[in-house]
Chains A and B, each alone.
Chain A
Amino acid sequence: MMDHKAPLYELFGLTFNLANVLMVTITCIIVLAIAIAATRNLSMRPTGLQNFMEWVVDFVKGIIKSNMDWETGGRFHLLGLTLIMYVFVANMLGLPFSVVVHDELWWKSPTADPAITLTLAVMVVALSHYYGIKLRGASEYLKGFTSPMWFMFPLKIIEEFANTLTLGLRLYGNIFAGEILLALLVGGLATGVGGTIAAIIPTMVWQAFSIFVGAIQAFIFTMLTMVYMAHKVSHDH
């Protein structure tokens, strides 16, 4: 996995990693398919997938409510829902297999690429700034950078970048490391018959653990998004 190249493609002066494009698209399609399948036959008395979807919706609602009051936080509900589903599905995609074509890695978790996770992180932080200005006014928003003391200003600036980086790289690191270990187990250890037999158990264990990590990371990403949002939009902190 580490030594595979990425299928790069240049268009309008932009560099596309076609594997990322493919996997992002697949993730979006899967999330959309799950959501639509779950909400196709909506009823007052929920059954099956609708129950699951409502549970997710309520779960995200709980995350938001633990950070801010619902009156302010309600507008981030859809964002949180999309984030948690997208990140979770993206994390899961790299687990069952990875596809290498012509020494180019095609199938992997899109979240195992820092460009993807940092994009999400930058988007979230940018949104938090936007809503901070929108909900509290520019002066209040700016005052946030010099409170409680004026000399905190540089630290606040650094904090913003640190937040962005940690948010994106935490997700990337967890998923990438998980996939590397999977690649090592499958590609490195499972070479002969004995190696394959020896690799089965740890691979399964690690996959199970990766499912857990992927779910936790999706939760953490959404949670931190709402923490940063609350930090910017709430009046008392």
Chain B
Amino acid sequence: MLAALQTAALGAAAGHGAVNSGDIIFQLVAFILLMLLLRKFAWGPLMGVMKQREEHIANEIDQAEKRRQEAEKLLEEQRELLKQSRQEAQTILENARKLAEEQKEQIVASARAEAERVKEAAKQEIEREKEQAMAALREQVASLSVLIASKVIERELTEQDQRKLIEAYIKDIQEVGGAR
């Protein structure tokens, strides 16, 4: 059936009656040969490269995914670290503030105590000085009175003087009494 049809087609096409049996065999051989050569020289290497590229890309994607995960992990770590250090800084600051507060209290307290002490000492000093001054004055007065008395006694009192003196005394007394 096939052959008959082929003959008919050929007859119509090429204008002769014989089947080109040689062409058929040649075509078949040529095609198979072409296929083999293509596989050896073109298809094989090309497929190799394409497969290689496919693997390469797959690898790259995998690696990128891995890197991304790593980066994410690192980021998380860093974030954690940052949070920690921030917290630490906060604690340190808090501690320092507390310490400063305490120190301030202490300093103020000690300063206050010191001032109190100095004031007390000054007061005592003043008291003592006053005491001393008083004592010295008293002594001075006493010695002066003695001196005056001795001077007075030393002078010879005239009658007139005595009189004058007595009068002055009396006057004084009178004045005092008058004032009363």
Contacts and interface: CB of A to CB of B under 8 A. Distances in A.
Interface string B1-42: 110011001100111101111111111101101110111011
A25 interface: yes
Given A20-B26, A39-B45, A32 B34 contact: yes
B111 interface: no
Instruction: Place the interface of chain B in its size category.
Output: 35 or more
Nearest to B15: A5
Given A44-B49, A57-B50, A165-B5, A82 B18 contact: no
Interface in A68-104: 77-79, 81-82, 85-86
B46 interface: yes
B43 interface: yes
Nearest to A82: B35
Interface stretch (A117-125, A131-139, A185-193): A117-125
B130 to A, nearest CB: 109
Contact of A42 (B18, B21, B45): B45
Nearest to A28: B34
Nearest to A36: B41
B163 interface: no
Interface of A: 2-3, 5-6, 8-9, 11, 14-17, 20-21, 24-25, 28, 31-32, 35-36, 38-39, 42-44, 46, 50, 53-54, 57, 77-79, 81-82, 85-86, 110, 112-116, 118-120, 122-123, 161, 164-165, 169, 172, 176
Interface of B: 1-2, 5-6, 9-10, 13-16, 18-28, 30-31, 33-35, 37-39, 41-43, 45-50, 52-53, 56
